[in-house]
Structure 1
Amino acid sequence: MDLLTEHRPVNGPVVYGFLRLVRVTQARQDALVAALAEYCRTHELNLSGVFSDREATAGSSPAFTGLLDVLALPNVYGALSPALSHLGPKAVVTERVRRIEAAGSRLLLIRRPAPAPLSPIQSETTGGHRPLHASFVEGES
């Protein structure tokens, strides 16, 4: 009789991490990398590498270009980041999310974005429920 899948060494979907490390201590960097690794461990993902933006750029960066390159590889599930803020300054986040999606990948976030408050009209028309945002997969941690 064969062992159950849970008892076999099975590789989870491949993801690559992305961190924005502008003026961050080594301890903070280590903690962020550890958080990515722990998220992958608990969600059965295979963290194959981490790209780090170390400059406060508003445009393209070598780290983000590298991330897009690996997302184009076969069998890569997506990109993982602690929060949307790690994709860069607010002015470029939307474009970077679009480019990740255009590469056919998912963007997984460990920390959910803060929800915008509902207006009284939205609250009445949606029954108080917020519409789901489909451009990324929210983490549960």
Structure 2
Amino acid sequence: MEPITERRPVNGPYVYGYLRRTSSEARLAALADSLAEHCRQHELTLCGLFMERGAVTEVRSPAFVGLLDVLTLPDAYGVVLPARSHLGPKRIAAERERQIAQTSARLIVVRSTKPRRGDRRPVDAGPVVRQRGARDVPA
């Protein structure tokens, strides 16, 4: 995918990252780095990162409330997540998605766990190798 700005620096669109608590600080740092790299590749400006430090047991945790606050800023474009599971357990995640949608911000998921329409391969199966007369197989 070629950058739309031909690799010239741009300001915006402005996004904010959101991460849940992980098993280690190293894993958390790696996830934060992956969000930053995704934003760099897609010409998004990562303005901040909100991290849940405790277990997600309620919808309106301090980190999530902070995220909602910045999404009301006029230049806020969206929220970037490593995966939907970072919003919390299903019941809490559904409500959080609804609240994010109310701000008109976009929800950008770096790694989707759902296959795309027409995609028969597992999401992270790698590149497809095409062989004459054979079905598509992961490399």
TM-score category, normalised to shorter length:
0.7 to 0.9
Q: CA deviation at 1:7?
A: 5.6
* Residue matched to 1:16: 16
2:127 corresponds to which residue?
A: none
In structure 2, give the amino acid aligned to 1:69. Answer: D
Q: Indicate if the aligned counterparts of 2:78 and 2:107 stay in contact, CA closer than 8 A.
A: yes
1:58 Cα deviation from its structure 2 partner: 2.3
Contact 1:56 1:89 in 2 (8 A): no
Query: Is 1:40–1:47's contact at 8 Å kept on the other side of the alignment?
Result: yes
Partner of 1:44: 43
Kindly report structure 1 stretches of 4+ aligned residues shifted beyond 6 Å: none
Spell out, residue by residue over 1:82-114, the C-alpha distance to the aligned partner (whole angstroms, 9 max, x if none). 011000112201100000000110100001132
Aligned residues: CA RMSD: 2.0
Contact 1:80 1:110 in 2 (8 A): yes
- Percent identity between matched residues is 53
Q: In the alignment, which residue of structure 1 is the partner of 2:64?
A: 64
In structure 2, list runs of 5 or more residues that go unmatched: 120-139
Aligned equivalents of 1:74, 1:99: Cα separation in 2: 17
- Higher percent of residues as helix: 1
CA distance in 1, matches of 2:89, 2:102: 20
User: Residues 103 and 41 (structure 1 numbering): CA distance in 2 closer, same or farther, change over 3 Å?
Assistant: same
In 2, Cα distance between the equivalents of 1:50 and 1:9?
Answer: 21
Please tell me the residue identity of whatever aligns with 2:6: E
Q: Is the 8 A contact 2:10 2:43 kept in 1?
A: no
CA distance in structure 1 between the partners assigned to 2:118 and 2:45 by the alignment:
33
1:96 to 1:8, Cα distance in 2 relative to 1, 3 A: same
Ranges in structure 1 where 5+ consecutive residues have no aligned partner: 116-127, 131-141
The count of aligned residue pairs is 114
Aligned partners of 1:10, 1:100: CA distance in 2, in Å?
A: 25
| 1:1-141 matched pairs, under 5 angstroms | 5-6=5-6, 8-22=8-22, 24-59=23-58, 60-115=60-115
TM-score, length-scaled by structure 2: 0.75
**Which secondary structure state, in structure 2, belongs to the residue aligned with residue 36 of structure 1?**
helix
